[in-house]
Chain A
Amino acid sequence: MTNSDINRLKDKAFQVFGIFCTFIGLVVLAVFLIDIIVEGITRIDWDFLTNLPSRRASRAGILTAWVGTLWILVLTTLIAFPLGVAAGVYLEEYGRKNRLNNFIEINIANLAGVPSIIYGLLGLEIFVRQMNLGGSLLAGALTLSLLILPIIIVTTREAVKAVPRSVRDGSYALGASKWQTIWNQVLPASFGGILTGIILALSRAVGEAAPLIVIGALAYVPFTPSSPFDEFTVLPIQIFNWTSRPQEEFLTNAAAAIIVLLVITFLLNGIAVYLRNRQQKKVKW
């Protein structure tokens, strides 16, 4: 066997190995999805989406849970998006390389790895007690905003960093100020990347139950919230609650609720991907 034959063989082996690795993740995901869908899909009907919680699995619905989840997602986006993008732009465009900024950077990177329940405890003390918001939607959204801010900041920085130097130089050469350059050139050009960060961050927030339980989100809420100061429940709490019930039928309900949660996540991601693609088409250098 010649040397190049061996190399070709190695190449082939690595390719097979790579495919194998890819499939491990996909197969696990597929098995999980199929299992959930087989178990839960027949349970989903109009009543399931519009009924209030109930002790009878067959009558129990998730109206308050999915409405609560949507509320939380919208509020969290409204809070975390401007804060995170502004912080990212500051760190990348304005922040000088000094000790303080280094310190901030290291902290943000670390914050991204803090367990979510810690954010719940923080939110409980600051938002629920000090700011007196109680176990309201706003307190929950603020807590989840803290949770996802590091992700948004880090991805914003990466996106802003990826804008070519020449675009900025061109803008300055035409007499634009720093702010005009950022607003008119850098942000539109990096918007796609920033949106990707938001998608990832929101997908994390939508599945959180632990920090919301800590701040006092409820399990049984017989009304849909009508303002950010109302009490609420979310789908993950409902799912968590149902999976720990002894009766088999509640496990079916949990599977059905998981499907609804997945659909909400896909829908949101779809919106974000759509916006991103539209934005990226506009950017031409």
Chain B
Amino acid sequence: MLNFRLNYSKLNAAVLLGGALMFSACGGNNEGAEGELAGNIQIDGSSTVYPITEAVAEEFRAEAPDVRVTVGVSGTGGGFKKFTRGDIDVVDASRQIKPSEDSLAQANGISYVELPVAYDGLTVVVNPENDWVKDITLEELKKIWEPAAQGTITRWNQIRPEWPDREIHLYGPGVESGTYDYFTEAIVGESGASRGDYTASEDDNVLVQGVSTDPNALGFFGYAYYEENQDKLKVVPVDDQNDSNGQGAILPTLETVKDGTYAPLSRPLFIYVNSKASARPEVVEFVNFYLDNAPTLSQEVGYIPMPAEMYQEQKQKFEQFAKGTSAPQAQK
């Protein structure tokens, strides 16, 4: 048994201070100004999209201080579950809605609009000591990652004969992430289909750590994680063998992801807005604010903005949608 000897008077002071802090922290709030937008906007979903939404919500605080925007991170799947039940107003999604989720939404009488807000370039990386990989083709990536590769493709020279006879160690996001869904869809051709014998982590920083310390490694994750760790990683240009959108192997950069030549590994990130929510003025204001500021804010948190005209298109799309939803609401 541990025996603590405490100075009681000091401890008393600490307890009192703790209580006082708690009190002061619980007060405040709730003073709403007249005439301004007010209300709650509940957002949940992908942790990949979260930094953008957080940034937008933060800036929106200055715009409309009485609108309480909250953002959760229960993942794209978890977010859609809540969204299709009507629990939340907006969902952050790092992939498109699945047919099964769509039918759930319909069954619950929920209509929605899908708005892409930024791009992420899935980046293929190797260790800086790796001097043999100069580029990689989609076919080779498929050969490495498809389910049939499990246990059979284990050495670099099996992928391209001129590469050395060394083991290959694979690193990638866990199967729960939208990043994984997108990558398997783009590379293997089927969402969620891949080999199982690779080092998986939901935390991309762990993957960075893995690839940067293992000379035989090959991994993939979001562009921002490469950008922040350029000195520890070597990026591999990807050749989609389709010269119509850029010739040869292409490096993921701001430009190539934005103009679509870094195909097919540049993926859009979305928000989905519930039609009931878009009938509320504070939500309309927020979504418009989101689309107006996404170009600068998405880049600030490590993603790649879409071309300006696409944001205009999304704004029009949303305006149409909001009009359609506010009309029946106004009747009652």
**Contact residues of A with B, CB < 8 Å?**
52-55, 63, 67, 70-71, 74, 135, 213-214, 216-226, 231, 237, 241, 243-248, 251, 267, 270-271, 273-274, 277
Closest chain A residue to B25, Cβ basis: A67
**Contact residues of B with A, CB < 8 Å?**
4, 6, 8, 11, 14-15, 18, 22, 25-30, 44, 47, 50-51, 53-55, 57-58, 61, 68-74, 82, 202-205, 222, 224-225, 227-229, 297, 300-302
CA distance A214 to B302 in the complex (A): 27
Nearest Cβ on chain B to A35's Cβ, whole angstroms: 15
Query: Given known contacts A55-B54, A243-B205, is B228 in contact with A226 (CB within 8 Å)?
Result: no
Nearest Cβ on chain A to B92's Cβ, whole angstroms: 11
B70 touches A55 (CB 8 A): no
A271 touches B11 (CB 8 A): yes
A270 CB contacts on chain B under 8 angstroms: 6, 11, 14
A246 touches B225 (CB 8 A): yes
Closest chain B residue to A74, Cβ basis: B22
Report which residue of B72, B297, B300 has the largest number of chain A beta carbons within 10 angstroms of its beta carbon. B72
B73 touches A274 (CB 8 A): no
In-complex Cβ contact of A219 among B28, B50, B55, B203 (8 A): B50
A271 touches B15 (CB 8 A): yes
A219 touches B71 (CB 8 A): yes
Query: Given known contacts A218-B70, A274-B8, is B25 in contact with A244 (CB within 8 Å)?
Result: no
B70 touches A231 (CB 8 A): yes
In-complex Cβ contact of A246 among B8, B61, B227 (8 A): B227
Nearest Cβ on chain A to B41's Cβ, whole angstroms: 11
B4 touches A273 (CB 8 A): yes
Nearest Cβ on chain A to B39's Cβ, whole angstroms: 13
CA distance A213 to B28 in the complex (A): 26
CA distance A226 to B22 in the complex (A): 11
Nearest Cβ on chain B to A267's Cβ, whole angstroms: 6
CA distance A163 to B51 in the complex (A): 55
Closest chain B residue to A50, Cβ basis: B25
Query: Given known contacts A55-B55, A55-B300, A224-B26, is B6 in contact with A274 (CB within 8 Å)?
Result: yes
A226 touches B44 (CB 8 A): no
B11 touches A274 (CB 8 A): yes
A223 CB contacts on chain B under 8 angstroms: 29, 68
Nearest Cβ on chain B to A274's Cβ, whole angstroms: 5
B6 touches A277 (CB 8 A): yes
Nearest Cβ on chain B to A236's Cβ, whole angstroms: 12
CA distance A213 to B72 in the complex (A): 8
Closest chain B residue to A241, Cβ basis: B73
CA distance A63 to B29 in the complex (A): 13
Nearest Cβ on chain A to B7's Cβ, whole angstroms: 10
Query: Given known contacts A270-B14, A274-B11, is B228 in contact with A220 (CB within 8 Å)?
Result: no
Nearest Cβ on chain B to A83's Cβ, whole angstroms: 23
B300 CB contacts on chain A under 8 angstroms: 55
Nearest Cβ on chain A to B304's Cβ, whole angstroms: 13
CA distance A125 to B77 in the complex (A): 17
CA distance A246 to B232 in the complex (A): 13
Closest chain A residue to B226, Cβ basis: A246
A244 touches B204 (CB 8 A): yes
B72 touches A224 (CB 8 A): no
B205 touches A244 (CB 8 A): yes
B302 CB contacts on chain A under 8 angstroms: 246-247
A219 CB contacts on chain B under 8 angstroms: 50, 54, 71-73
Nearest Cβ on chain A to B27's Cβ, whole angstroms: 8
A54 touches B58 (CB 8 A): yes
B22 touches A70 (CB 8 A): yes
A224 touches B58 (CB 8 A): no
B14 touches A225 (CB 8 A): no
CA distance A273 to B6 in the complex (A): 9
Nearest Cβ on chain A to B201's Cβ, whole angstroms: 10
B74 CB contacts on chain A under 8 angstroms: 213-214, 216
A224 touches B28 (CB 8 A): yes
B54 CB contacts on chain A under 8 angstroms: 53-55, 219-220
In-complex Cβ contact of B72 among A217, A244, A273, A277 (8 A): A217
Closest chain B residue to A251, Cβ basis: B205
B50 touches A241 (CB 8 A): yes
Nearest Cβ on chain A to B178's Cβ, whole angstroms: 14
Report which residue of A54, A220, A248, A271 has the largest number of chain B beta carbons within 10 angstroms of its beta carbon. A220
